[in-house]
Amino acid sequence: FTGCRGVTQAIIGSGNLITQEMDFTDFTKLEISHVFQAKVIRSDSFSVGITVDDNLLEYVVVRKSGNTLRIYLKAGYAYIGTTKMVEITMPKIDKLSLSGASRVEVSGFRSSDRLELEASGVSSFYIDDLKAGDTVFEISGGSHILGGIEIANGRFNVSGASSISLEGYASDISIEVSGASHANLADFSVSNATVTISGASVVTVNASGTIDGNVSGASRLTYLGDPALTIEMSGDSTVDNR
């Protein structure tokens, strides 16, 4: 035995919270990780406010690269009993990525532009009063997305015991759900849906035009409305109307 390789220093939250305002502007994309709780609110102006234990502030990294703002903690430490919150206002959002058990509430953005929402590592989205053009949802690793949104067309990739539950509407959607994941779109009205469901996953779709695709691996598709169906089924899967 020659040393202590791999030992991680513990940073224990002091319980004394401070808020630091950061001077960042002209970003349209966000990447948030390390168990941050965030609020992202539409505003005509930019602001970034970090609230943490006073002994944690020096370990918080807020960095802008191009039009992407990244918020995370320095690597190599174990953060124990810490508070990590951020409130961001911005005029427009194009992409929001969450990882590392982070949680974000997003509200007020209404646009016809493309939007990307990504969550991994047991992270969560709570969305309210959003409107966007074509939108991509990438939800993995036990992550969740919940709320209301109106979009032009949507692409949903949900995997690894993740879940989505949305209200709103879209024209056409494609949805791929795998790995014991759930997608509840009963209150999310669409014209046409293409579905790929596998690995004991459960999907509910509300479509007025068509639903096509395949359901496999003991999965279940429930549909609302009276769409024309073109569904391939295998592996003890089910399709039913509600």
Fold designation for 1-92: Pectate Lyase C-like (2.160.20)
Residue burial 172-198, b: 16+ Cβ < 10 Å; e: rest: bbebbbbbbbbbbbbebbbbbbbbbbb
CATH number of 110-241: 2.160.20.120
**pLDDT value at position 5?**
52
**pLDDT value at position 2?**
39
**pLDDT value at position 8?**
83
- Of 199, 212, 215, 130, give the one whose Cα is nearest residue 173: 212
Residue spans of the domains in the chain: they are 1-92, 110-241
Contact 74, 59 (CB under 8 A): yes
Instruction: Determine the Cα–Cα distance for residues 180 and 224; give it in Å rounded to an integer.
Output: 21
Print pLDDT tens along the chain (242 aa): 334 455 489 999 999 999 999 999 999 999 999 999 999 999 999 999 999 999 999 999 999 999 999 999 999 999 999 999 999 999 999 999 999 999 999 999 999 999 999 999 999 999 999 999 999 999 999 999 999 999 999 999 999 999 999 999 999 999 999 999 999 999 999 999 999 999 999 999 999 999 999 999 999 999 999 999 999 999 999 999 99
- Of 33, 106, 104, give the one whose Cα is nearest residue 63: 33
Domains 1-92 and 110-241 share a fold: yes
Q: Is 84 helix (H, G, I), strand (E, B) or coil?
A: strand
- Of 33, 28, 42, give the one whose Cα is nearest residue 97: 33
Instruction: Determine the Cα–Cα distance for residues 169 and 191; give it in Å rounded to an integer.
Output: 9
**pLDDT value at position 3?**
43
Contact 197, 219 (CB under 8 A): yes
- Of 187, 146, 188, give the one whose Cα is nearest residue 163: 146
